[in-house]
Amino acid sequence: MTQAYVHGYDPKEQTRLQDQAMTLVDLLHSDTAYPPGSQILEAGCGVGAQTVTLARNSPRASIVAMDISETSLAEARHRVMLEGLTNVRFQRGDILDLPFDPGSFDHVFVCFVLEHLKEPGLALQNLKACLRPGGTITVIEGDHGSAFFHPDSDAARAAIRSLVELQARTGGNALIGRSLYPLLRRAGYRQISVSPRTVYADAGKPEMVDGFTKRTFTAMIEGARQSAIREGIVEPAVFDRGVRDLYRTAERDGTFCYTFFKAVGTA
Amino acid sequence: MTQAYVHGYDPKEQTRLQDQAMTLVDLLHSDTAYPPGSQILEAGCGVGAQTVTLARNSPRASIVAMDISETSLAEARHRVMLEGLTNVRFQRGDILDLPFDPGSFDHVFVCFVLEHLKEPGLALQNLKACLRPGGTITVIEGDHGSAFFHPDSDAARAAIRSLVELQARTGGNALIGRSLYPLLRRAGYRQISVSPRTVYADAGKPEMVDGFTKRTFTAMIEGARQSAIREGIVEPAVFDRGVRDLYRTAERDGTFCYTFFKAVGTA
């Protein structure tokens, strides 16, 4: 049986997601700010890792942060409260069955969500329906096939592929970043603009080595160990060697590179 | 016998290099400008694809453009003359046996050169010796392992790997981009700063699809066909399928991504 692999459902994973949001925040979010008075939907807010940044960057916009999980919503609500942000309200809802009237929002924001969905195209169509004409959607996703590093390592690549395969078996797509453009087009968005956001870490950037290479990317791969091995996707020895080799890229002569994609389209 | 694969030695290849310089110029070069009166060495100028940009961006610096090939130098000289640039002089020389006194230059610029060398570390050491203390080196290189695309294709990846293997057999390294940081460190440079420069093309950026995906990257892979097949590195059918699949990524629903690296270090 396939054990669902979804980010954000245990405390260690939540720490990882927070680390990720801290080190990537400028790269991914600094160019997203919504006008005063605009109505924003964050679809799939999870534990609120991005919600805080979104609310801070658009202090006079009204944000509805939606997630399917009450547990995640509670955590997100707590985090937003701790930051003293008052422009977010939380609502439980399913991205495939949205609890909003057509045209309810000026802008939609979706970050690290589509990768988990069996039907990302349908989700994008649904989100388009709840946007006013001329409203925009912003989508951010990673792409695990974008990872490369020095020293190179077959085992590390096998460990990464095992996570890609695991996510595919649960109906997700860990390589979705490269497909945002055609996905948005097929869902009917116009004026689509996609930009790569490449994270690069070497010993000259110790905060990226620690915050991204080790505590975000390699920790995420490590977190899939049990599921990947139980599913028979990868030999334990290869996986463990791969994780060691990924940590090796965080040493003084190592480098690590990964590309996220940010897409904006108009409804 | 191994046929050396070196860029820039036939007219079709020269067109490709010029196309590459045209579409990538902002991404790779816009942040390189040298002060008036400074002495610059461009080591390995080839046919002058980068020399023109370098000279234009630093109109009051004095540039020595060096290459080991008289044929390339003649082409570079012609190109610089056509552009009306007067701050470049040309000199034949070998990067592994430099014809300059120690400390002759304020800055060194090396673009798409180290990938072809058996001993890139030795070249970097030699270049350091001809820099004054506190002078800088700027290095730009690609990394063919950074390429990924939609639709994904095993054959396309095999075709790319065949070029990597071909370059390895001639003593080069088509994956050198990810190693610039450790290479510069080992050569004794300080204050090393490396930044990724990611090219991304989809149908919303037709000039990148045409200029990069098709006329730069895929044309480069295609240009290695004869050598890769003669060397027995790849089956002709796989290679040809791979090239078709790379062109497929240039269609309306395709995407293509590639990362260059730009490093600056202090002598």
CATH number for the domain that contains residue B127: 3.40.50.150
Does residue B231 lie in a domain region?
no
Residues 6+ apart with CB under 8 A from A26: none
Task: Decide if A6 is inside a domain.
Answer: no
Give domain status of residue A186, yes or no: yes
Query: Does the residue A218 lie in any domain?
Result: no
The DSSP letter of residue A169 is H
Helix, strand, coil abundance in chain A, percent, nearest 5: 45, 25, 30
Residue A23 lies in a domain: yes
Helix (H, G, I), strand (E, B) or coil at B73: helix
Over the stretch A36-48, which tens digit does the pLDDT of each residue have?
999 999 999 999 9
Can you list the alpha helix ranges (DSSP code H) found in chain B? 11-29, 51-57, 70-82, 120-129, 154-169, 180-186, 206-208, 219-223, 225-230, 236-248
Model confidence pLDDT, tens digit, residues B39-70: 999 999 999 999 999 999 999 999 999 999 99
Whole-prediction pTM value? 0.91
Residue B73, min C-alpha distance to chain A (Å): 34
Min Cα–Cα distance to chain B from A184, Å: 10
A252 lies in some domain: no
Query: For residue A244, is it within any domain?
Result: no
In chain B, the number of structural domains is: 1
Query: A178 and B253 in contact by Cβ < 8 A?
Result: no
Q: Any idea what the Cα angle at residue B123 is, between residues B119 and B128, rounded to 5°?
A: 145
Cβ proximity of B242 and B122 under 8 Å: no
Q: Give pLDDT, residue A24.
A: 80
Q: Tell me the residues of A at the B interface, defined by beta carbons under 8 Å apart.
A: 143, 145-146, 148-150, 152, 175, 178-179, 181-182, 185-186, 192-196, 198, 200, 202-204, 253-255, 257, 259, 261
Show which residues on chain B lie within 8 Å of chain A, measured between beta carbons: 143, 145-146, 148-150, 152, 175, 178-179, 181-182, 185-186, 192-196, 198, 200, 202-204, 253-255, 257, 259, 261
Q: Which pLDDT score is estimated for B21?
A: 43
In a domain, A38, yes or no: yes
pLDDT number for residue A25? 84
Residues 6+ apart with CB under 8 A from A50: A21, A29, A42, A109, A111, A112, A140
* Per-residue pLDDT tens digits for B219-251: 999 999 999 999 999 999 999 999 999 999 999
For A113, the domain range is: 11-149+171-200+258-266
